A and B are shown apart, each in its own frame.
Chain A
Amino acid sequence: MQKIKDFILSIIHLNNEYTSTAMYFGLYLFMLVLMAFFARDRKYDAKRVVIPACVLLWVIYLLLPFLLVFLEFGLDEQIRARTFWTLMIPPVIAVGFTALVFEVEQGRKRFMAIIAVCLLLMASGEFKINNNVFQKAENLYKLPQELVDVCDTVLGDGREVKLIVPYETAHVFRQYSTDILLLYGEDATIQRVVQTTYEINDTCREMMSEAPDLNFVGEVARKNQVDYILFDTVYQTFGGHSLNFDGYAESPDFAGDRSATDEQKAVTADVRLYNRKGEVFWGLREFGLDYVGRFGQYMLYRYE
């Protein structure tokens, strides 16, 4: 009984994962029905579109969940959701509506029908093209310019360098140059390429907190021959001093609890601020960290 329940839940979950509001999926099924019954002499008839789609729907909705639940053999969730791509949902909807629109008398009526269909398609979907999703490009790499500047600075010596960076920026550096190595990368939390040591995972966790334990981070940096450490002024404060003067915002993609324990805060409680030619920075020399420069919201330190 439990297996049958899992089977049904698996199908519902898969359907929701892909179709969301299900409006386009509903339109797709509607078009399949129309094509099955009203497109006999057309190229988009049952033989060419509907029957193969039914075979694929059977595979996606029944065969794959059955294999997964009853035989414990199958595709992972992401690939299962992508199996919907084989149905060619957008072109089938577009073909169906085009055929319907050309049933309308030529001229103004047809033009109105085209506009009506466009409005229906707009209302059926979700429009997410905005400045958050598509930001203004700062360079041809389409990477944040301040992080590209960090890359240029650390590569100044012309040799391979190893960095500890805030987790949310880790995906950027090695897109710029393979001479930049990272103690942990974008997969630190999921480790999809290789398993790393607990020590490195703990370092990543420390760097995600508002006041990383620099004794621990420094020790790991020493053991792993790290050259630079990058801090994020949006999240991090040392000695209770926030340096986010320009009010940079938190990234909604990396929201989460950043609070540090009292023990963590105690390590850097005595950190003082310094001012070098108008540049204010945390004095972290007692932890072996020399201030290099500020890059937007990020502060770069060389580990000696």
Chain B
Amino acid sequence: MQTVVANILAQIESVLIGKPHQVKLALACLLAKGHILIEDLPGMGKTTLANTLAMTLGLSYQRIQFTSDLMPADVIGIAIFDEVKKSFQLHPGAIFNQVVLADEVNRASPKTQSALLEAMEEGRVSVDGVTHQLPEPFFVIATQNPMSHAGTYPLPESQLDRFMMRLSLGFPSIDAERKILQSTTSHRDADNIEPFLQVEQLREIQQHIAAISVAPAIVDYVIALCRMSRQTDSKAKALSPRAGKSLLAAAKSWAFMENRDYVIPEDIQAVFSPVCEHRLAPQQHHIFDEADELSQHILSLVDPTNPLP
């Protein structure tokens, strides 16, 4: 299983040059059944990452470009009267795909955003009183522009919370940038990306990750981290139990990618920042791979060997 994962990583890295850590985090997030929010400036490779992830996993995939005039119906789909059957039939929107790339999600109106985000959490949509199950597995990869850019609607905290991770790609290194500039193929050529996984395999992996053991000491560590964020003198927003759950899930996934069947504090530390920073400081936006101050601060306050003294 791990070799498959390694292959996937290698393929993505060949397309998205110079960002192995972010790629690994993104894959870990998907394997943990989480949704990803990629936040960065335009042209940093957000869409490329999302694209490649979806293609590599061999899942049905559709991209929605969010604009300010995008309607919820455009995302979810619309019920149209079928004259033959004499009934309303759903014309499924882009969301009825296993992987949905919501590009520039913060450019859409809040109404549209919430339609998407509701679907993310529930795993189903209701159109005209009829509930439709979304396909399984179901991932949303959203990208967003920094808030300062014109024409954006910031995502509310409650909705940010639904993304397991928030990633930022940042500028490439000199070497990576040179490679990017010299490469002849466009990243939009999806042809040479092969799917590496069958749906069955993906399910298997996900089950395996769910079965990874978490020792009480690790749970204590997560609890200690969450409690630390809730202290009154903390500048951060408090971490909810859902955040803790996400943290554990992501850590398990990370442990799987590190070839372990148990979680160690290093896993928690590795995923803590992407999982928690956007929950701790929703209004601050980390661009250009800035230091995740709050999460690093909280990490530095908790002793992993003796989390709850």
Q: Do these two chains really belong together in a complex?
A: no
